[in-house]
Amino acid sequence: MQKLLKIITYPNDILKKKSQKISQEIIKSKEFQILCDDMAETMIKKDGIGLAAPQIGKNIRLAIINSKEGPLYIINPQIIKRSWSKEWGEEGCLSVPNVFGKVKRNSKITCVYADRNGEEKKISPKGLMARVFQHEIDHLDGILFIEKAKNIKTQNLRA
């Protein structure tokens, strides 16, 4: 049974720290696999498109992205190629609630990472998925979207 994890919100210092690489030994552990399941459950229940470990208080290089095929677990991700073309798009973040802003990101990237079984994978997302990958990898590097965003606005949820 998955449990909902507490989302760390800005200005908590853990969101500014660069995350530690995860060893194969840890990836294979039962505790890590449970963490993956709990993070996926939390991301989906909180209506997120992605969730990085620092957002739940863990200083490790793990992020989960909500793809059409289900949760995509990216461990120790590295962007190895970026398109020349960039595009602006509105972003928000579970760790910076009710705040949105326009961020300029590469429209296509190539990323290598380990999946939750520790197997090396390579993906070349474009458009929205490329944006989500870059946003989540920024989290692992201690960077929040609000540091890159223009036209930041707060959404008042009182109706």
For the annotated catalytic residues, the residue numbers are: 136
- The label of the residue with tokens 């507490």 reads 6
Backbone angles phi, psi at 85, to 5 degrees: -75, 140
Q: How far apart are alpha carbons 9 and 62 in whole angstroms?
A: 18
- At residue 48, what is the residue type? G
Question: Residue 26, SS3?
Answer: helix
Residue 118 per-residue DSSP state: S
Nearest residue to 52 via CA among 131, 145, 139: 139
Judging by DSSP bridges, how do beta strands 120-123 and 62-67 pair with one another? unpaired
Q: Under DSSP, is residue 37 helix (H, G, I), strand (E, B) or coil?
A: helix
Query: How far is residue 114 from each of residues 16, 118, 122, 126, measured CA to CA in Å?
Result: 23, 5, 9, 19
